[in-house]
Amino acid sequence: MALDTETPLNSLGFAKPPSETRVVVAMSGGVDSSVVAAYLADQGYDVVGVTLQLYDHGAALAKKGACCAGIDIHDARRVAEERGFPHYVLDYENIFKDAVIDEFADSYLAGATPVPCIRCNERVKFKDLLETAKDLEADCMATGHYIQRKMGPNGPELHRAEDANRDQSYFLFSTTPDQLDFLRFPLGHLPSKDATREMAAQYGLAVADKPDSQDICFVPNGNYASVIEKLRPGAAEPGEIVHADGRVLAQHDGVIHYTIGQRRGLGIGGLCEPLYVVKLDVDKKQVVVGPKEMLSTRTVPVREINWLGDAPFTSQEEWHVSVKVRSTRPPQEAIIRPLSDTTAEIELLTPEEGVSPGQACVFYASEGSRIFGGGWIWRGY
């Protein structure tokens, strides 16, 4: 009887030594991706660091604390030099503008509340950069995202991070099965961000105490409207703030200054009831306000669905799952009713407030940590 002489899998899942396994690490210049690169280099992998310049870091859109700008490119390069692996900077400015920034501006002008970080992962990092990694003859690409990739009976599965406070699954729901096959997330199993910083300190990385980057790298100080006005001059056209019952309450300086669910800063004080933004009517240039109960909905239409379940999406009339309609909210029980391979209607078992077009609706297993994909909320009720 012959002995089993198969080569054991290395920590990235390949049946060969780390030194023969090339891994491209997407390095933003922050502590997370720097730790991933240092860890894999320390394990003996053939590491290649790649940093994307996504926008002109000298322009007004840049800000302190953003990723993929000047100081971050310098920090990523320094980590590569200190750990002894090659590092490349790729100018993706035009790709980023076409694939992310322009849609962000257009969808915001249409009254939606976009999530450009998801589009960046989907259309830039996990598309063009992933293809670049393959061109470099890499076996896989690793990132510093807090999410887990686990092998299931039908191939790799996407799972929430061990640390619920750091979990980035909401921003990665559009990762396709083919992409998941090539991607690795070495930090997803860590118990906390403190553990990542401890690893950075152990490796002597200068970025060990570097502050986390902001979610939207090209929006200074969270002021969406100022960015939209730069990108789309004349976008802030004035109009009326109207009560849902038809009363004109005040004037506004542009629909782009408001979001669904907003209460503060409406400039309509003196009323006996608190009012919230319940609808943005771009065509009429109206901000529609009403009582809080008008924000509540059970029905959420979703399109551009990326399904990560084992069976085809339309193989069942209903899927009983949990969903997140905003990144900051916990998953809630829901029923998905497929309308096609990429569209569905979601019934929330508990009504949610402030469900907004342009946000993502991400699907989770009701028990356990698995992610079943998600889609885009495309109109409000």
User: CB neighbours of 139 closer than 8 A, spacing ≥ 6?
Assistant: 12, 14, 21, 22, 23
239 is in an annotated binding site: no
The DSSP call for residue 169 is G
151 is in an annotated binding site: no
Tell me whether residue 169 is exposed, middle or buried, using C-beta atoms within 10 angstroms of its C-beta: 0 to 12, 13 to 18, 19 or more.
buried
254 is in an annotated binding site: no
Verify whether residue 120 is a known catalytic residue.
Answer: yes
**How far is residue 238's CA from residue 300's CA, in Å, rounded to a whole number?**
30
27 is in an annotated binding site: yes
287 is in an annotated binding site: no
12 is in an annotated binding site: no
Look-up of token digits 């092998």: 151
Task: Considering the candidates 67, 68, 117, 120, report the single residue annotated as catalytic.
Answer: 120
32 is in an annotated binding site: yes
164 is in an annotated binding site: no
Element (H, E) at 196: helix 193-202
User: CB neighbours of 226 closer than 8 A, spacing ≥ 6?
Assistant: 220
Amino acid making up residue 66: A
Q: At what angle do helices 31-42 and 193-202 cross, to 10 degrees?
A: 50
Verify whether residue 217 is a known catalytic residue.
Answer: yes
Is residue 85 a contact partner of residue 49, using CB atoms and an 8 Å limit? yes
Tell me whether residue 58 is exposed, middle or buried, using C-beta atoms within 10 angstroms of its C-beta: 0 to 12, 13 to 18, 19 or more.
exposed
358 Rama class: left (phi>0) / alpha (psi -120 to 50) / beta: left
Q: How far is CA 254 from CA 111, 208, 285, 317, in A?
A: 11, 42, 7, 42
Look-up of token digits 């979703």: 302
Task: Considering the candidates 117, 140, 217, 361, report the single residue annotated as catalytic.
Answer: 217
| Antiparallel, parallel or unpaired: β 22-26 and 46-53 | parallel
Residues with catalytic function: 120, 217
Instruction: Please report, in range form, the residues annotated as the binding site for ATP.
Output: 26-33, 52, 144
Instruction: Please report, in range form, the residues annotated as the binding site.
Output: 26-33, 52, 144
